[in-house]
Amino acid sequence: MSEELEELGYPVVRVAPAGVFAKGSVNDCMRLNLQLRMGLRVLWKIADFEAMDGQQLYKQAVRIPWEAYVPADGYVSIGSSVRNDTIRNTKFAGLRLKDALVDRIREKKGRRPDTGNDSDKAKLFLYWRDEEVNIYLDTSGVPLSNRGYRVSPGKAPMRENLAAAVLKAARWHPGLSLVNPMCGSGTLSIEAAIQASGRPAGRLRENFGFMHLVGYRPEEFEAIKMELDMGKALVASAPIIATDQDPEAIEAARRNAELAGVADLIEFEVCDFRQTKVPDDPGVVILNPEYGDRMGEEKKLLPVYQAIGDFFKKQCPGYWGYVFTGNRSLGKRIGLKTTRKIEFYNGPIECRLFEYELYSGSRNPR
C-alpha cells in the first residue's frame, strides 16, 4: 500500500498496522478513491484528542464543527475501532459520537441529520486506543473493493483490492503476459486488464462517501475524472488468458469483464487448467485453487495441487509461477521449491502466495 501511494505522488508520512498515512486535501481524497487499486477506504482525519471514557468523548466531539462536514438534512453512519478499558460495548462509543454530532448540528442548524448503519451516504470512522481518539470522515463510504463490475461473483470470489495486491506481489505489470487458470469469476484477470488499459480502478463507481458531505461540488469531481482521462481507449499490450473448467464460471467472468469494459483484452476459454495455452513470451501464471476448508476436502484436493506442480514444470518454463491458497499444507504438495512465500488475508483466512521461478534452460532475468 505504501508503494502504491508513493507511485501516485503521495509521500508516506507514517505506516500503521491497519493503514498508511499521507497528507492531502479533499480533492486528493477524490483522486485516491478513483485511483487506489489495493486500498479499502480513504479516510480524512478531522480531529484528534484524548478521552478517558464515553463522557469525555462526547465533550470533546461536540466541539467539532460538524455542521461544516455533515448536511443537517443528510444521513450519516459511524464505523469504529475501539480499545478502551471503560468501553465494554463498542456500539456505545459510536452512539456517544453520534450524540455529539447530532446535538451540535441541531444547535447550529435547528435540525439534525438521520443516522443509521447504511454506508452509502456520509460516513465517519472513530479510532480509539486507550486515551487516544482520532476521528475521520470516510470519503469512500462503501469499501473500494466494490468496483462495480462484479455482478456475477461466482464461488468464493477474491475481492478486487486483494486481487490487485496479489498481482503487485506477483511481479506482474502491463506488458507482461498473464495466465490465470482456475479463474473463477475472473477477478484477477479483470484487475490486470483494467491496469493494462490504464484506467482508474474506481471508474465504474457512481457513489462515494465524499459526495454526501457539505461543500461537495460535482463539477470538481468531473474535472478530476477528466484529468485522470477515464475515457482511455483500450490498447492490447500482452495476452491476458483466463480459463476454468466450469462453463458457468467462464460465463460469469465474461459478464464481469464486459461490465468492466475490458472483455476485449482477455482471452477466455473453458478447459481444465492443464490444457491452458501458455504464450511463449515470458510472463506470470497465477492459480487460486480451492483451499479445502471442510473435513475430507483436503484429501480430494491433494492430486490437484500435485498436478499444478507438473503443469508449472512442463508448460510454464520461463514464467514466474504463483499459487494463492489458504491451505499451506496443500501448498507444500506442489512439489517445487518456492522463492518467496507472501502472507495475505482473504477475509479472516490467513493465506499464502507461493512464488516459483520456472526455469527454461538458464536462469531467466527478473
User: What is the spatial distance between Cα 242 and Cα 282, in angstroms, rounded to a whole number?
Assistant: 16
Do 100 and 180 lie in one domain? The reply is no
Grid cell listed for 35: 485511483
Domain with 111, as residue range(s), is 43-138
pLDDT at 154 over 70: no
What confidence score (pLDDT) does residue 366 get? 44
Please name the amino acid found at residue 256: N
The DSSP result for 271-301, as a single string, is S-GGG----SS-EEEEE------STTHHHHH
Helix or strand run (H / E) with residue 248: helix 247-260
Do 111 and 251 lie in one domain? The reply is no
Do 118 and 74 lie in one domain? The reply is yes
Q: What is the pLDDT of residues 24-80, one digit of tens each?
A: 999 999 999 999 999 999 999 999 999 999 999 999 999 999 999 999 999 999 999
Phi/psi for 15 (5° steps) reads -115, 125
pLDDT at 233 over 70: no
Neighbouring residues of 327: CB distance < 8 A, sequence distance ≥ 6:
291, 292, 298, 301
Give the SS3 label for residue 136: strand
Give the SS3 label for residue 62: coil
Do 126 and 178 lie in one domain? The reply is no
Q: What is the pLDDT of residues 161-211, one digit of tens each?
A: 999 999 999 999 999 999 999 999 999 999 999 999 988 999 999 999 999
Domain presence at residue 28 = no
Tell me the CA distances in angstroms from 132 to 48, 49, 65, 255, 366, one per residue in order.
7, 6, 20, 47, 45
What confidence score (pLDDT) does residue 348 get? 85
Q: What is the pLDDT of residues 207-232, one digit of tens each?
A: 999 999 999 999 999 999 988 876 56
C-alpha angle 203/204/206, rounded to 5°?
105
Domain presence at residue 343 = yes
74 by Cβ neighbours in 10 Å (0-12 / 13-18 / 19+) ranks as middle
Grid cell listed for 353: 502466495
User: What is the spatial distance between Cα 270 and Cα 42, in angstroms, rounded to a whole number?
Assistant: 38
What confidence score (pLDDT) does residue 117 get? 93
Whether the pTM exceeds 0.85: the reply is yes
CATH number for 133: 3.30.2130.30
pLDDT at 155 over 90: no
Domain boundary among 105, 138, 171: 138
What confidence score (pLDDT) does residue 364 get? 46
Q: What is the mean pLDDT of residues 327-347?
A: 93
Do 192 and 314 lie in one domain? The reply is yes
First-residue to last-residue Cα distance in the chain: 22
- How many domains does one find in the chain? 2
Q: What is the pLDDT of residues 69-100, one digit of tens each?
A: 999 999 999 999 999 999 988 899 999 999 99
What confidence score (pLDDT) does residue 362 get? 45
Do 297 and 327 lie in one domain? The reply is yes
Q: What is the mean pLDDT of residues 344-357?
A: 93
The DSSP result for 143-202, as a single string, is -TT--S--S---SSPPPHHHHHHHHHHTT--TTSEEEESS-TT-HHHHHHHHHHHT--TT
pLDDT at 360 over 90: no
CATH number for 289: 3.40.50.150
Domain presence at residue 335 = yes
User: What is the spatial distance between Cα 36 and Cα 157, in angstroms, rounded to a whole number?
Assistant: 20
Q: What is the pLDDT of residues 249-282, one digit of tens each?
A: 999 999 999 999 999 999 999 999 999 999 998 8
Domain presence at residue 131 = yes
Do 173 and 112 lie in one domain? The reply is no
pLDDT at 145 over 50: yes
Q: What is the pLDDT of residues 279-318, one digit of tens each?
A: 998 899 999 999 876 555 788 899 999 999 999 999 999 9
pLDDT-derived band at 363, boundaries 50, 70, 90 = very low
Helices 90-109 + 54-61 axis angle, to 10: 30
Q: What is the mean pLDDT of residues 116-121?
A: 94
pLDDT-derived band at 347, boundaries 50, 70, 90 = confident
Instruction: Work out whether the CA dihedral 241, 245, 249, 251 comes out positive or negative.
Output: positive
Do 189 and 325 lie in one domain? The reply is yes
C-alpha angle 16/344/181, rounded to 5°?
145
What confidence score (pLDDT) does residue 204 get? 92
What confidence score (pLDDT) does residue 152 get? 75
Domain presence at residue 35 = no
Do 177 and 315 lie in one domain? The reply is yes
Domain presence at residue 34 = no
What confidence score (pLDDT) does residue 37 get? 97
